[in-house]
Amino acid sequence: MKTFLKILLGSALAGLLVYLYYTEVKPVVIFGLRSDYAHAIPFQKIPEGLTSLKAESCGQCHREIYDEWKTSIHAHAYEDPFFQAYWKKDNNIWVCLNCHAPLENQQPTLVGEIPRGRVEKAVQKPNPHYDPEYQKESVTCAACHVRDGVVYGPYEDSAAPHPIKFDPNFRTTQVCQRCHNVVSGPAQFYNVGPCGTYSEYEGKFFMKERGFICQSCHMPEIDRPVATNGPIRRGRQHLWRGGHDPDMVKRAVGVQVKADTVSPKPGERVSFTLTVINAGAGHKIPTGDPDRYFTVEFFVEDRGGHVLDHQTSTIGRWIMWQPAIVELYDNRLLPLASREYQFTYQLPAQAEGLKVKARVQYHILTDKQHEMLQTQYGLTGNDPYRFVVYEREFPLSGDLAAALSESEQSATLSRQPEGTSCKAGAAG
């Protein structure tokens, strides 16, 4: 009887500790709260001289910028199918809106006190200024440029039909920090946080020697009138291409392939070395969402396309999500770093028609995660969640030398310096 009571009391205590851990310690989201993104950007009124805060109103004068913004992931951060599915998985918790629709004007509730930093316990009340149509504009113009009835920008000598003010932060990385440097919370042991692109930024070469900031690659410079009939001046394109854009990813990644022999013969062993280089990103690759990763693959195929051998390696982060979040391993590539991947194959006596295919792919999430979001959380659309960064075929015959030479020439051309255009990347 005493043994039974001890077991019962022990089980009850263990249950209580588990309950307290999940309700009072471990956050319900995969990040911690920092004061600048724990709340929405405060309610903004329409600056005098404008008719609306909506992007279309800004586009009346800033047409080219408006057209660029419409094509960006910022303009679709709220309606993005991946966000909507993941958000549903997280029970549509309010805090995610603070980056995906960051203005208080765009949010259905006003969030007050957040007891002990637990988002599920936040005090909320209906927002009388909520505009559901405005919410769909996601990271809209006013999210960055409007504060207290004034339009802020990067110029000290602007003239406009509305109040304006120069903000030096637009010429630094600080303007990106709020949403691209999400930190860890209690019981979360990431190396740099779940989405720590800002803190990963490499400041020695890219910033000090080349003078790059985030905008150098993600908002390329352009000379044009900033507003209709305005003077031509140097500004930036409002594109923000990044991890969802195949061309942007390809420009960051350099790939070289070499072989230990250029004339493999039947019965011999041939070894290939594929080198992946973070040639053009000022942060680790991949970056952002911890689900993202690269695969480096080698295939041996016969004349009919049948796969005779296959090898896969992964570049990314390995994270344990329960009962605590622990980042177990991170082999992502630092800026300007490289890594070699080797593949060896024993040629058979009859090797005619055989070829090695080398491929590097970028994945926003795994096939299993994609299927889970589709079947359980209503993921819609046909947005690509993986794409090929590099792919080439190398015949296991006398033609191998020519294929290797062509690959090397193409890789060299892709790495030619082009000023500060950020173009450096993969061949193929």
Question: Which of 364, 373, 376 is CA-nearest to residue 81?
Answer: 373
The two counts, helices (H) then strands (E), for the chain are 13, 17
In 46-98 the beta strands, taken as DSSP E runs, fall at: none
Residue 279's pLDDT band, with cuts at 50, 70 and 90, is: very high
- Locate the domains of the chain by residue range: 31-170, 246-414
Pick 260 or 416 by higher pLDDT.
260
* Residue 260: pLDDT over 50: yes
State the CATH class of domain 246-414: mainly beta
* Residue 68: pLDDT over 50: yes
Instruction: Please state, in angstroms and rounded to a whole number, the distance separating the CA atoms of residues 314 and 274.
Output: 13
Pairing of strands 188-189, 232-236: unpaired
343 pairs with which residues across the strands? 272
Question: Which of 286, 296, 388 is CA-nearest to residue 331?
Answer: 286
Say which DSSP state 333 is in: B
DSSP class per residue in 139-207: S-HHHHHEETTEEEES-SS---SS-EEE-GGGGSTHHHHTTS-BPP-TTEE-SS-TB-HHHH--IIIII
Round the average pLDDT of the chain to a whole number and report it: 90
Pick 428 or 23 by higher pLDDT.
23
| Contact criterion met (CB below 8 Å) for 166 and 158 | yes
Torsion, Cα 328 329 335 337, to 10 degrees, reads: 160
CB neighbours of residue 275 within 10 Å? 15
pLDDT in tens, 153-194: 999 888 899 999 999 999 998 899 999 999 999 999 998 889
Contacts of residue 333, defined as CB under 8 A and 6 or more positions apart, other chains included, come to: 276, 277, 278, 284, 285, 315, 339
pLDDT at 272: 96
pLDDT at 262: 85
Residue 1's pLDDT band, with cuts at 50, 70 and 90, is: low
